[in-house]
Amino acid sequence: MKATEFLKDILEKEYGIRPLTRNENGDIICYQCGRIARDHCHSEAGLREVEISGVCEECWDKMFSEEGEEGEEWKDLILKTLLHG
């Protein structure tokens, strides 16, 4: 195992930190929906959040929505992802 792979593995397993996924053009891919994240951001704050979390604004809004069951499902999904990888 290369040192960089080893460090990525430790960061993800121990701290829940994973590197941003990018396509061949360097675009960040949302780790929730798999789409090009910037194409699904509608504000400056959403674009900044992509750089931090790797989640597009549409998915972020669904995950933390105050309305409906869809928001609760996304919250459960993100918690499971963070806790269990």
- Full pLDDT tens readout for the chain, 85 residues: 677 777 777 777 777 667 788 999 999 999 889 999 999 999 999 999 898 888 999 998 888 876 545 556 666 666 666 666 5
Domain chopping of the chain, boundaries: 19-84
pTM: 0.60
**Three-state SS annotation for the chain:** CCHHHHHHHHHHHHHCCCCCEECCCCCEECCCCCCEHHHHCCCHHHHHHHHHHCCCHHHHHHHCCCCHHHHHHHHHHHHHHHHHC
